[in-house]
């Protein structure tokens, strides 16, 4: 295998040559403590940087076996090392366009499977990222290339990817925090819970655009109320106390600005594990919890929203409801039914982002608009059946809609960011202040019929490109379409959005190659994607091998697919 010396001399020979001559770098190089594989070379210095893979043998990584003895431990260490590799700084090399750029996917606060840094069973490590090969105009800068590849890169690897570069305590914490979070999450069903917020958690963030925790003196640490306190056991921390949110219907109430939405947002994120120091390390939610909100203007394709909305003016059918431009209530109904279809077991809603007429209808409005002229069965009349018939729990933030107190199993009241058990008070309020609402006839049973997307409508081609998937500013450019992801609240990292794009492209190919007269139903294709990620990890959803993917949940793939404006269905 050619070594550092050969790499330097090739770079010297390439100096001044036209940019495409960089293709001679393709192949594998021995950097001493690691190997460098140059996988793909960019066409010019302004294009997306070139793709490389770096591999370290187990003894070069030097990770104690205990730090990778379980899946969650390994995942914690992988995310820790990816973060270190991403944050080491730039390549110290200048030139035109993206010359000298080192682009490593930073997992941020998340500890989820990602493709930038992975460990294998023997303790060897693979890192995938992009390097901007240096040029002046379209001429190769040989000296800068040697500096980037033969000096900066080995230095960066030594300083970030070897266990010896880090304090043993930090590495251990990365492994243990991840393992504890996974154990707490796994303990939820057995304890009859859908979510858990550990005492001492710091929920507020620095700002709406900064996911780091609010600084300690300003943040009120979470403290569970005695009535709702539970104790779970984690392998490294032992007994952990906190607020347990039981299965059923839970209302989070409280005055404005007392921390309701912040708590719900932490529960949304609780489907993911967070890094040490995040503040939400011990906030865990069942993995199948899906945030539901109103999103007027979204596209809806063939969704049976009739259990919520039936008898629209003009005899419009809501058993297979299709629109390019949903209203607040129809968008929320569709998102809810779609979540049930993808297998959600917990629904999370915040009054701040719901459609009022979907959520409630009080006695005065019932009196003004007779039932035969009201197409909507409000969610307050369905939420119990959702749990009693289907076993689907709901956690709902409410500041104004007191009618929900009547249907809640659990009421948490926030005051000055501190939760209280509001159950007894809520029952007294319900008794002393009857809502006076008429209960209509029991609405039809909620059982979404399986839908079969037409795989041809998932075509990822664009112009001459076989697969065109790009993510920018909460939008996914997929083939000829641009999908707005901003209302899919649990896609929180660009790597997840990229993985969704790759997942849809994979489904397109898979469904066509399946050689089956019948295309897969939505459930079947989501199952196939789960199996793919289970077997190969997010590397399978990283089409360029550039370490740019992060694991993505089936619900979020479905939510994106359901928003494609070109989506069409096969008839059942």
Choices 108-116, 239-247, 256-264, 363-371 (CB under 6 A): range interacting with ligand ADP: 256-264
Residue from 311, 354, 298, 314 nearest 565 by CA: 298
Among positions 214-243, residues that touch ligand ADP (CB under 6 A) are 214, 218-220
- One residue of 83, 162, 258, 291 binding ligand ADP per CB under 6 A: 258
Q: Nearest to Mg ion by Cβ — which residue? A: 261
- Pick from 204, 244, 302, 519 the residue near ligand ADP by CB under 6 A: 204
Alpha carbons 212 and 205: distance in angstroms, whole number = 6
DSSP string of 389-425? HH--EEEEE-SS-GGGGGG-SEEEEEETTEEEE-HHH
Q: How far is the CB of 84 from ligand ADP (least distance, A)?
A: 29
List the one residue from 129, 272, 308, 417 that touches ligand ADP (CB under 6 A).
Answer: 417
Q: Which stretch binds ligand ADP (CB under 6 A): 2-10, 112-120, 254-262, 477-485?
A: 254-262
Binding range to ligand ADP, per CB under 6 A, among 81-89, 213-221, 367-375, 400-408: 213-221
* Three-class secondary structure of residue 76 per DSSP: helix
Which residue, chain included where needed, has tokens 């932490």?
266
Judged by beta carbon, residue 203 or residue 526, the one nearer ligand ADP is 203
User: Using CB under 6 A, which of the segments 212-220, 432-440, 465-473, 507-515 binds ligand ADP?
Assistant: 212-220
**The two three-digit tokens of residue 37, written as one number:** 């594989």
Pick from 383, 390, 344: nearest CA to 558: 344
Please choose which of Mg ion, ligand ADP, none residue 120 contacts, taking the beta carbon within 5 to 8 angstroms, the exact cut-off set by kind: none
Buried b (16+ CB within 10 A) or exposed e, 317-351: ebebbbbeebbbbbbbbbbbbbbbbbbbbbbbbbb
Give the CA dihedral 283, 349, 325, 477, nearest 10 degrees.
0
What DSSP character marks residue 131?
A: E
Sign of the torsion formed by the C-alpha atoms of 432, 433, 436 and 437: negative
Give the C-alpha separation, 121 to 135, whole Å: 39
- Please state the length of the chain: 572
How far apart, in whole angstroms, are the C-alpha atoms of residue 45 and residue 524?
43
CA-based radius of gyration for the chain: 26
Minimum CB separation of residue 259 from Mg ion in Å reads 8
Q: Answer for the pair 205, 306: CB distance below 8 angstroms, yes or no.
A: no
* Nearest distance, CB of residue 555 and Mg ion, angstroms: 23
Instruction: Look up residue 20 and give its two tokens.
Output: 């495409």
Q: How far is the CB of 262 from ligand ADP (least distance, A)?
A: 3
In the list Mg ion, ligand ADP, none, the entry touching 417 (Cβ below 5 to 8 angstroms by class) is ligand ADP
Kindly report the backbone phi and psi dihedral angles of residue 174, in degrees, each rounded to the nearest multiple of 5, phi listed first. Answer: -60, -40
Smaller CB separation from ligand ADP, 70 or 262: 262
| Site pattern 231..270 for Mg ion (x: CB under 5 A) | ------------------------------x---------
Q: Does position 162 bind ligand ADP by CB under 6 A?
A: no
Size of the site for ligand ADP (CB under 6 A): 15
Say whether residue 261 binds ligand ADP (CB under 6 A).
yes
For ligand ADP, which is the closer residue by CB, 398 or 511?
A: 398
Q: Using CB under 6 A, pick the residue from 190, 226, 238, 256 that binds ligand ADP.
A: 256
| One character per residue 455-474, x = contact with Mg ion (rule: CB under 5 A) | --------------------
Instruction: For the CB of residue 181, give the shortest distance to ligand ADP in the complex, in Å.
Output: 20
The yes or no reply on residue 354 touching Mg ion (CB under 5 A) is no
Tell which one of 218, 352, 388, 480 touches Mg ion (CB under 5 A): 352
Tell me if 426 contacts ligand ADP by CB under 6 A: no
- Min dist. Cβ of residue 261 to Mg ion (A): 3
Task: Kindly state the smallest distance separating residue 260's Cβ from Mg ion, in Å.
Answer: 5
- How far, in Å, are 9, 40, 159 from residue 427 at the CA level? 80, 65, 59
Q: Which is nearer to Mg ion, 397 or 550 (CB)?
A: 397
Chosen residue from 2, 3, 257, 364 binding ligand ADP by CB under 6 A: 257
Residues in region 509-548 near Mg ion by CB under 5 A: none
d(CA 357, CA 327): 11
* Residue 400 interacts with ligand ADP (CB under 6 A): yes or no: no
In angstroms, the first-to-last Cα distance of the chain is 57
Helices (H), 115-240: 142-146, 153-160, 168-187
Count CB neighbours of 522 within 10 A.
22
Among residues 7, 79, 203, 541, the one that binds ligand ADP under rule CB under 6 A = 203
Separation between Cα atoms, residue 464 and residue 466, nearest integer Å: 7
Closest approach of Cβ 264 to Mg ion, in Å?
8
CA dist., res. 153 & res. 430, Å (int): 66
Measure the CA–CA gap between 68 and 74, rounded to whole angstroms. 4
Number of residues this chain uses to bind Mg ion (CB under 5 A): 2
**Where on the chain is the footprint of ligand ADP (CB under 6 A)?**
203-204, 214, 218-220, 254, 256-262, 417
**Where on the chain is the footprint of Mg ion (CB under 5 A)?**
261, 352
């Amino acid at each position: 295998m050619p070594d550092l010396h050969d790499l330097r001399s090739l770079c010297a020979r390439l100096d001044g040559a036209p940019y495409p001559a960089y293709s001679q770098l393709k192949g594998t190089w021995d950097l001493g403590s690691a190997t460098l594989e140059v996988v793909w070379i960019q066409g010019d210095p302004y294009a997306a940087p070139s793709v490389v893979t770096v591999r370290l043998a187990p003894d070069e990584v030097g990770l104690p076996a205990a730090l990778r003895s379980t899946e969650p431990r390994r995942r914690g260490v992988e995310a820790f090392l990816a973060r270190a590799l991403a944050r080491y700084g730039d390549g110290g090399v200048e030139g035109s366009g993206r010359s000298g750029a080192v682009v490593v996917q930073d997992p941020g606060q998340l500890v989820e499977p990602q493709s930038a840094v992975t460990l294998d069973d023997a303790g060897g490590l693979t890192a995938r990222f992009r390097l901007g090969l240096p040029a002046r105009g379209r001429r190769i800068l040989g000296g800068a290339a040697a500096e980037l590849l033969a000096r900066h890169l080995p230095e960066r690897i030594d300083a970030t990817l070897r266990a010896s570069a880090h304090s043993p305590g930090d590495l251990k914490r990365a492994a243990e925090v991840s393992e504890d979070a996974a154990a707490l999450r796994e303990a939820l069903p057995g304890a009859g819970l859908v979510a858990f917020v550990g005492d001492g958690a710091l929920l507020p963030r620095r700002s709406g655009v900064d996911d780091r925790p609010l600084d300690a003196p300003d943040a009120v640490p979470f403290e569970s109320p005695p009535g709702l306190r539970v104790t779970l056991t984690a392998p490294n921390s032992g007994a952990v106390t906190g607020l347990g949110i039981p299965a059923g219907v839970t209302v989070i109430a409280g005055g404005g600005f007392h921390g309701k939405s912040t708590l719900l947002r932490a529960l949304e994120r609780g489907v993911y594990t967070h890094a040490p120091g995040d503040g939400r390390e011990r906030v865990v939610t069942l993995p199948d919890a899906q945030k539901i909100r109103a999103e007027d203007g979204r596209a809806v394709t063939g969704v049976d929203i009739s259990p919520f909305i039936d008898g629209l003016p003009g005899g419009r059918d809501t058993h297979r409801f299709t629109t390019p431009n949903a209203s607040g209530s129809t968008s929320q109904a569709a998102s809810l039914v779609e979540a049930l279809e993808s297998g959600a077991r917990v629904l999370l809603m915040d009054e701040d982002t719901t459609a009022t007429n979907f959520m409630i209808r009080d006695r005065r409005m019932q009196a003004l608009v007779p039932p035969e002229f009201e197409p909507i069965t409000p969610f307050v009349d369905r939420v119990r059946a959702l749990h009693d018939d289907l076993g689907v729990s709901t956690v709902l933030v409410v500041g104004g809609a007191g009618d929900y107190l009547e249907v809640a199993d659990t009421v948490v009241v926030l005051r000055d960011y501190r939760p209280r058990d509001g159950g007894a008070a809520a029952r007294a309020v319900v008794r002393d202040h009857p809502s006076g609402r008429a209960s209509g006839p029991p609405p039809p049973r909620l059982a979404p019929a399986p839908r079969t997307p037409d795989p041809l409508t998932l075509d990822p081609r664009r112009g001459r490109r076989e697969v065109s998937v790009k993510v920018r500013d909460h939008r996914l450019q997929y083939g000829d379409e641009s999908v707005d992801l901003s209302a899919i609240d649990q896609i929180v990292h660009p790597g997840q959005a990229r993985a969704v794009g790759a997942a849809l492209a994979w489904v397109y190919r898979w469904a066509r190659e399946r050689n089956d007269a019948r295309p897969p139903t939505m459930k079947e294709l989501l199952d196939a994607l789960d199996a793919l990620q289970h077997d190969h990890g997010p590397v399978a959803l990283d089409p360029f091998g550039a370490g740019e993917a992060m694991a993505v949940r089936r619900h979020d793939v479905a939510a994106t697919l359901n928003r494609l404006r070109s989506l069409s269905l096969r008839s059942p």
